[in-house]
Structure 1
Amino acid sequence: MRVGVVVLPEFSGPQGIRMWRRVEELGVAHAWTLDHLSWRGARGRPWFDSFTLLAAAAAGTERMTLGTLVASPNFRHPVTTATQAMGVDHLSGGRFVLGLGAGVAGPDADALGAKELSAAERADRFEEFVTMLDTLLRQPVTTRHGRYFQAVDVPMVPGCVQTPRVPFAVAATGPRGLRLTAAHADTWVTIGDPRRPGAETGQQALSTLRTQLDRLERACAQVGRDPGSLRRLVHLGRISADPWESPDRLADLTGACAELGFTDVVVDHPRPHEQRPDAMDRFQRAVGAVCAQTIHTQAS
C-alpha cells in the first residue's frame, strides 16, 4: 500500500515549494493537486494552474511521484495537455502521472462558453480526450481528427522520459469509463460514490468501493487485461472526514482499503484558513506514522 497527499493549488512561490518539500519529508509515495479553474468554497480565493505548480514542485522535490487529480476536457485540450505533461515529466525526472477525469457540469465546464453536454456526450468527449492523449504522448508527430478535438501535424519532441508515455491515472465509476480505464490507465482512481462523496457511513463506503472493484474486474476481462497490472487508488478524504485524525484511524482506513484490493490511498493536506489549530500536527503525525509503517512492512 502506497500513501499519498493531495495539496490544493493555492500556494505559489517559495511558500508553495516549501509545502511540497514538507510533504515529501513525511515519506509519502506520491503527491497530487487538483486541476480546476476554481473549486467549491475556494472560488474567489488564490488558485493556480496545476501543471505550473507541479513543475515548481518537481524542481523542489526529489523522490515522490507528482500528478494531477484530475485533468479533464472541461477546459483542457489534448494537444496542450500532452505538451504540459511531457514538460513536467522531464522537469521531474520521470516522476509525473497524468490523472484524468471526464469532468462534470459547473464553472469549469462553463468557463470557455461551450454548450452544456449530456452525460453521454461527456463520456464520448472523455474517450476521445484519453485516446488522443495516448496517441500524442507515444509518437513524435500526430495528426488525428475527432468529433471534439483536432491534432494536426503536432510534434512531441523529445517525448516523455517514461516509456512508452507518462502513466495515466483515470477516475471512473461507470461501465464505459471503467472499460476506458482498463484499456488505457496505469492506475484507477475513485472517490467512492461520486453522487454524494463523504455522505456514506464507513461500512457503506467500503461496500461501494467493493462493488466498484468488482466492476473494474469485469471491465478488465472485457478488454483482455490482467486486473493485477492496474494500480487502484482511493481518495480517503472523499469517503471519510479527516482520515488523518490519528495514526490509528488512518492506519485502520488504509488497512481496510488494502484488504479490498487497493494499492494506493491519498488524503487531503489541511488548508490553513480552514483548519483547527492542531490539524497540521495531527496530519503530520498520522501520515508520517503510516508511511513509516508501510515502508517498514515493504522492507520486511
Structure 2
Amino acid sequence: MRLSTVILPIHRWPVGQQIWRRAEELGFHTAYTYDHLSWRSFRDEPWFGAVPTLTAAAAATSTLRLGTLVTSPNFRHPVTLAKDLMSIDDISQGRLSVGIGVGGTGFDATALGQEAWTPKERADRFDEFLPMLDELLREPVTTRHGEFYDAVEARNIPGCVQTPRVPFLVAATGPRGLRLAAEYGQGWVTYGDPKGPGEVPVAEAPSVVERQIEKLTAACEARGRDVAELTKVLLEGSTAEKPLASLDAFVDWAGTYRDLGIDELVIHWPVPDSIFANDLTVFEQIATEGLAQLG
C-alpha cells in the first residue's frame, strides 16, 4: 500500500515550496493538488493555479511524484491541457500522474460564464474529453472532431517522458465513468459516496467503497482487463471518518481499506482553521510510521 498527500494550492511559493519539499522528505509516494479556480470554503482565500504549482513543485523536488486530484472539463480543453501535462512530465522527468474526472457543480462550473452542466452533460463531455486527451498525449499530431471539442493538427512534440503517456487516475463511480476508467485508466479514484459522503455513517463508509470496487471490477471484466492492473486510490477528507486524529486511528482506517483492495491512500496536508485542520505533528507521525504499523 502507498501513502500520498494533497497539498492545497493556497500558499505563496516561499512557503509552498517548503511544504512540497517536506512531503518528499517524509516519504510520501505522491503529492497531489486540486485543479480548481477556487474551492468551497477557500473561495475567498488565497488559491493558486494547479499547473504552475505543479511546475514549481517539479523543480523544487527530485523523487516525489506529482499530480492533479482531480482535473476536469469544467474549465479545461484537452488540447491546451495536453500541452501543459506533457510539459510538467518533462520538467519532472516522468513524475506526473493525472487524476481526472467529470467535474462538479462548484464555482469552476460557471466561472467562464456558462450555465452549470447537468450530470448527463458532464458525463457526455467527459466521454469525449478523456479519449481526446489520451490521443493527444500519445500521438505527435492529432486531428479529431467531436460534439464538444476539436483538435486540428495539434502537436505535442516530443511527447511525454513516461510512455506511452502520463498515467491517468480516473475518478468515477457511475457506469460511464467506470467504463472509461477500465478503458483508459492506469488508476481509479474514489472519495466515498458521491451523493453525500459526509452523511454516510462511519461504520457504513467502507461498504460504499467495497461496492464501488465491485462495479469497477465488473467494468474491467467487460473490457477484458484485470482490475488488478488499476491502482485503486482513496482520497480522505470527505467522509465522517477521522483517520488523522491519531496514529492508531489511521492504522485502523488504513487496514480496513487495504483489506478491501485499496492500493493508495491520499491524506490532506493540514490547513489550520479549515476543514483540514489536523495536528501537523500527528500528520507527520502518520506519514513516517503509519504504513509500517500495518505489518
Give the TM interval when normalised to the shorter protein. over 0.9
Does residue 219 of the first structure (1) align with residue 233 of the second (2)? no
- The residue type equivalent to 2:146 in the other structure is G
1:37-78 per-position Cα deviation (integer Å, ceiling 9, x unaligned):
110110111100011101111111111211000001000000
Deviations 1:73-98 (A, max 9, x none): 00000011111111110111100001
- The alignment covers a number of residue pairs equal to 295
| Counterpart AA for 1:39 | W
Q: Deviations over 1:233-289 (max 9, x none)?
A: 001222344422111111111111110011111011111343899711111112221
In the alignment, what sits opposite 1:74?
Answer: 74
> Where do residues 185-224 of structure 1 align in structure 2 (5 Å cutoff)?
185-224=185-224
Q: What is the distance in 2 between the residues matched to 1:27 and 1:106?
A: 33
Aligned residue for 1:198, secondary structure, equals: helix
Tell me if structure 2 keeps the 8 A contact 1:144–1:150. Answer: yes
Contact between 1:245 and 1:286, CA under 8 Å: does it hold in 2?
Answer: no
Equivalences for residues 57-206 of structure 1 within 5 A:
57-206=57-206
Aligned-partner Cα distance in 2 for 1:145–1:176: 21
Q: Which runs of 5+ in 2 are unaligned?
A: none
TM-score by length of 1: 0.94
Q: Does 1:263 align with 2:263?
A: yes
Measure the CA separation in 2 of the matches of 1:246 and 1:278. 10
Structure 1: runs of 5 or more not aligned: none
2:295 is the alignment partner of 1:289: no
SS of the aligned residue for 1:266 comes to strand
Cα distance in 2, alignment partners of residues 204 and 69 from structure 1: 24
Kindly provide the amino acid, as one letter, of the partner of residue 48 in structure 1. Answer: F
**Matched residue SS, 1:271:** coil
User: After superposition, what is the alpha-carbon deviation per residue over 1:1-47, rounded to whole angstroms, capped at 9, x for unaligned?
Assistant: 00000111101322111110111111111110001111011011110
The match for 1:41 is 41
- Say whether the 8 Å CA contact 1:173–1:190 is kept in structure 2: yes
The TM-score, its normalising length taken from structure 2, stands at 0.96
After superposing the two structures, state which structure 1 stretch, 240-249 or 256-265, moved more: 240-249
Report the CA distance between 1:197 and its aligned residue: 2.1
Q: Distance in 2 between matches of 1:221 and 1:78?
A: 28
Q: Which deviates the most, 164-173 or 25-34?
A: 25-34
Instruction: Say whether the 8 Å CA contact 1:26–1:291 is kept in structure 2.
Output: no
Shift in Å at residue 290 of structure 1?
A: 1.4
The letter for the 2-side match of 1:235 is: L
Match of 1:9 in 2: 9
The answer (yes or no) to whether the contact 1:193–1:208 under 8 Å persists in 2 is: yes
SS at match of 2:169: strand
Please name the residue that 1:31 is paired with: 31
What RMSD, in angstroms, separates the aligned Cα atoms of the two structures?
1.6
* Residues 96 and 127 (structure 1), Cα distance of their counterparts in 2 relative to 1, 3 Å cut: same
Runs of 4 or more consecutive aligned structure 1 residues displaced over 4 Å after TM superposition: 275-278, 291-294
Q: CA deviation at 1:223?
A: 1.1
Match of 2:252 in 1: 252
Cα 1:22–1:291 shift into 2, 3 Å: farther
Equivalent AA in structure 2 for residue 14 of structure 1: P
> How many angstroms apart in 2 are the aligned matches of 1:228 and 1:275?
33
- SS of the equivalent of 1:178 reads helix
**Structure 2: how far apart are the matches of 1:139 and 1:158?**
10
* 6-15 vs 241-250, which moves further: 241-250
Instruction: Give the Cα separation in 2 of the matches to 1:239 and 1:164.
Output: 35
